[in-house]
Amino acid sequence: MAVTNKYIAIKNFINGVPKDSDFELKTESLSLSLEPVPSFLVIVKTLYLSIDPSQLNRMKEYSSSQKAISFATRINPGEVIDSIGVGRVVASNQTEFVKGFSGLTAYGGFFEVCKPKKGERVFVSTAAGSVGNLVGQYAKLSGCFVVGCTGTDQKVELLKEKLGFDDAFNYKKEPDLKLALKRYFPDGIDIYFDNVGGEMLEAVVENMNVQGRIAACGAISEYANTRNKKVSLSLIDIIYKRIIIQGFLTPDLMNMSEDFISATSAHICAGKIHVLEDVSFGLESVPTAFIGIFRGDNIGKKIVKISD
């Protein structure tokens, strides 16, 4: 069967913050077939696409870290951009197929990397984002004290009123992040779930307690950075306070996905976890949705609905 497939491509490699003119809508003809049979073939109609800031790292001409790491392979101009999403299986020559994943980053990163204990003090950045809002909710369910930071007053309210964070603040209104953290954590921070890197991470290290743990989940401050600015850390703090900084990626946490799904769905059904989704409509809205993530436009998980 021959079909026409629409997709979004980059027109050029992206250096810095992405903008509309970096993207284009393209069409291609596809011949759909389930032959040859010994191969595992499945035809999927895309219903939803996940919009993830880390995709920007794949759109750069060069990044040392992307070499030899298969799931961070470079996207070239004009190529189809692969992404996580939800699809309907239209046809398959086998009965089993791979499941997608979502929310596992927050679950696995928090429980496996941060190893929370009841009563510990947890700080989450981009706390109204797709991962951060769930980390905060898991932390509350674990008996921790949780403060989140985000970029608008509206999102601060959401964190405190709807998601049950103990406190939250708008980092754009804080001239001195170190002092802000000292105010929100007079007894120091035990766990930091880091989605941004940069100055916030530097301020956290200064306010961290002995035996503190930092889950390095994202570094959105570096993704769109043209000046190759890196985070400046005090090793003396890291050594004397015996801090652990651990980078992680969700594919390493796949062994936790059953736990994640059973625990999370039970909490959702019991009304103890709120799901925040921020939906745009139509493939054409993908570039705007993607660009918006770097401005902090989204509240919760950004997805694009492609078809019913």
Q: Which residues bind a copy of itself (CB under 8 A)?
A: 57, 63-66, 69, 72, 197, 201-202, 206, 210, 216-219, 222-223, 230-249, 252
Residue matched to tokens 């004397």:
240
Q: Strand pairing of 301-305 and 42-50?
A: antiparallel
Q: For residues 96-119, b (16+ Cβ closer than 10 Å) or e, as one string?
A: eeeeebbbbbbbbbbbbbbebeee
**Beta carbon of residue 98, minimum distance to a copy of itself (angstroms, whole number):** 22
Q: Strand pairing of 145-150 and 167-170?
A: parallel
User: In the structure encoding, which two tokens stand for residue 85, read together?
Assistant: 């999403």
Residue matched to tokens 């021959």:
2
**Beta carbon of residue 253, minimum distance to a copy of itself (angstroms, whole number):** 10
Pick the closer one to a copy of itself by CB: 211 or 262.
211
Pick the closer one to a copy of itself by CB: 109 or 300.
109
**Beta carbon of residue 100, minimum distance to a copy of itself (angstroms, whole number):** 21
Pick the closer one to a copy of itself by CB: 72 or 283.
72
**Beta carbon of residue 69, minimum distance to a copy of itself (angstroms, whole number):** 5
Tell me which amino acid residue 104 is.
L
**Beta carbon of residue 284, minimum distance to a copy of itself (angstroms, whole number):** 30
Alpha carbon separation from 38 to 33, 35, 95 (Å, rounded): 13, 8, 13
Cis peptide before 251 (omega within 30 of 0): no
Pick the closer one to a copy of itself by CB: 113 or 127.
113
**Sign of the alpha-carbon dihedral angle for 200, 155, 183, 176:** positive
**Beta carbon of residue 66, minimum distance to a copy of itself (angstroms, whole number):** 7
User: In the structure encoding, which two tokens stand for residue 80, read together?
Assistant: 């189809």
Pick the closer one to a copy of itself by CB: 48 or 111.
111
